[in-house]
Structure 1
Amino acid sequence: MSFFHTKSVAQLENDAASSSLTKNLTAFDLTFLGVGGIIGAGIFVLTGIAAARYAGPGLALSFVIAGVLCILVGLTYSEFASIIPASGSVYSYTFASLGEGMAFLCGWSLLLAYTVTGAAVAVGFSGYLAGMTASLGYVIPDYLLKTPAEGGLVNLPSIIIILLLCFVLIRGTKQSAKLNAILVVVTLSAIIAFVAIATPHADMANLNPFLPFGTSGVISGAAIVFFSYMGFDAVATSAEECKNPSRDLPIGIIASITICMTLYICMSLALTAAVNYTMLDTPEPVAYALRLLGWEKVANLIAVGAIAGIITTLIVYLFGQSRIFFAVSRDGMLPAKIGKIHPKYHTPYIVTTLGSILIAVISGFVPLMHIVELSNTGTLAVFFVNFIGIVVMRRKHPEIKRKFRCPLLYIIAPIGAIVCFYLIYELSTLTHALFAGWIVIGLIIYYVYGQKHSKVIEEAELAAQKKA
Structure 2
Amino acid sequence: MKNMSLDLLRKESIEKYLANDNSFKKTLTAKDLISMGVGAVIGTGIFILPGTVAANYAGPAVTLSFLIAALVCVLSAMAYAEFSSTLPVAGSAYSYGNIIYGELVGWILGWALILEYMLSVAAVAAGWSSYFQSFLAPFNITLPKYLVSSFNPAKGTYVDIIAILVVLLITFLLSRGMKDSVKVNNFAVVLKIAIILAFIIMGLNFIKPENYHPFIPYKFNGVIKGATTVFFAFLGFDCVSSSAAEVKNPQRNMPLGIIGTLLIASVFYMGVSIVLTGMVHYTKLDVANPVAFALEFVHQNWLAQLLSLGALVGMATMMLTMIYASSRLVYAMARDGLLPNSLAKLSGKNKIPQISLWFVAIIISLGAGVFSVDQLTSLVNFGTLLAFTLTSFGVLLLRKRKDLPNNGYKMPGYPVLPIISGLICLYLLTQLNLDVYIMAVVWFIIGLILYFTYGYKHSHLNSNY
Q: TM-score, normalised by structure 1?
A: 0.88
2:77 to 64, 71, 74: 74
Instruction: Tell me the equivalent position of 1:16.
Output: 21
Is the Cα contact below 8 Å between 2:86 and 2:404 reproduced in 1?
no
1:246-265 to 2 correspondences below 5 Å: 246-265=251-270
Is the Cα contact below 8 Å between 1:206 and 1:277 reproduced in 2?
yes
Cα offset, 1:57, TM superposition: 4.5
| Whole-angstrom CA distance in 1 between matches of 2:287 and 2:344 | 38
Instruction: Tell me the equivalent position of 1:395.
Output: 400
Q: Which letter does structure 2 place at the counterpart of 1:189?
A: A
The yes-or-no answer on 1:39 pairing with 2:42 is yes
Is the Cα contact below 8 Å between 1:147 and 1:367 reproduced in 2?
yes
Is the Cα contact below 8 Å between 1:223 and 1:424 reproduced in 2?
no
1:438-453 to 2 correspondences below 5 Å: 438-453=443-458
Cα offset, 1:91, TM superposition: 0.9
The yes-or-no answer on 1:113 pairing with 2:116 is yes
Instruction: Tell me the equivalent position of 2:96.
Output: 93
- Per-residue CA deviation, residues 324-372 of structure 1 (Å, 9 max, x unaligned), is 1110111010111123323234222222222223223333455665343
Is the Cα contact below 8 Å between 2:343 and 2:355 reproduced in 1?
yes
Is the Cα contact below 8 Å between 1:219 and 1:423 reproduced in 2?
no
Moved more, 337-346 or 439-448: 337-346
The yes-or-no answer on 1:344 pairing with 2:343 is no
Moved more, 258-267 or 220-229: 220-229
Secondary structure of the equivalent of 1:112? helix
Instruction: Tell me the equivalent position of 2:326.
Output: 321
| Whole-angstrom CA distance in 2 between matches of 1:164 and 1:83 | 34
| Whole-angstrom CA distance in 1 between matches of 2:227 and 2:35 | 24
Q: Which letter does structure 1 place at the counterpart of 2:30?
A: A
Task: Report the CA distance shift for 1:134/1:355 in structure 2 as closer, same or farther (over 3 A).
Answer: same
| Whole-angstrom CA distance in 2 between matches of 1:280 and 1:366 | 31
| Whole-angstrom CA distance in 2 between matches of 1:366 and 1:279 | 34
| Whole-angstrom CA distance in 2 between matches of 1:184 and 1:246 | 25
| Whole-angstrom CA distance in 2 between matches of 1:409 and 1:402 | 16
Task: Report the CA distance shift for 1:346/1:278 in structure 2 as closer, same or farther (over 3 A).
Answer: farther
| Whole-angstrom CA distance in 2 between matches of 1:317 and 1:270 | 30
Is the Cα contact below 8 Å between 1:133 and 1:139 reproduced in 2?
yes
Cα offset, 1:155, TM superposition: 4.5
Cα offset, 1:160, TM superposition: 2.5
The yes-or-no answer on 1:129 pairing with 2:148 is no
Moved more, 249-258 or 261-270: 261-270
Q: Please, which runs of 5 or more residues in structure 2 have no aligned partner?
A: 1-5
RMSD after superposition: 2.9
Q: Which letter does structure 2 place at the counterpart of 1:117?
A: S
| Whole-angstrom CA distance in 1 between matches of 2:156 and 2:284 | 23
Cα offset, 1:206, TM superposition: 5.3
| Whole-angstrom CA distance in 2 between matches of 1:54 and 1:433 | 27
Q: TM-score, normalised by structure 2?
A: 0.89
Secondary structure of the equivalent of 1:392? helix
Instruction: Tell me the equivalent position of 2:292.
Output: 287
Instruction: Tell me the equivalent position of 1:454.
Output: 459
| Whole-angstrom CA distance in 1 between matches of 2:301 and 2:142 | 16
Aligned residues: 458
Task: Report the CA distance shift for 1:211/1:140 in structure 2 as closer, same or farther (over 3 A).
Answer: farther
Instruction: Tell me the equivalent position of 1:175.
Output: 180
| Whole-angstrom CA distance in 2 between matches of 1:191 and 1:435 | 35
- Per-residue CA deviation, residues 286-321 of structure 1 (Å, 9 max, x unaligned), is 334423432222222232233222211111011111
| Whole-angstrom CA distance in 2 between matches of 1:322 and 1:283 | 33
Q: Please, which runs of 5 or more residues in structure 1 have no aligned partner?
A: 463-468
Instruction: Tell me the equivalent position of 2:3.
Output: none
Moved more, 121-130 or 407-416: 121-130
The percentage of aligned residue pairs carrying the same residue is 36
The yes-or-no answer on 1:228 pairing with 2:254 is no
- Per-residue CA deviation, residues 203-252 of structure 1 (Å, 9 max, x unaligned), is 56655665666656554544444343233222210011112112211111
Is the Cα contact below 8 Å between 2:9 and 2:103 reproduced in 1?
yes
| Whole-angstrom CA distance in 2 between matches of 1:285 and 1:123 | 21
Instruction: Tell me the equivalent position of 1:382.
Output: 387
Is the Cα contact below 8 Å between 1:116 and 1:375 reproduced in 2?
yes
Secondary structure of the equivalent of 1:163? helix
| Whole-angstrom CA distance in 2 between matches of 1:211 and 1:437 | 41
Is the Cα contact below 8 Å between 1:147 and 1:364 reproduced in 2?
yes
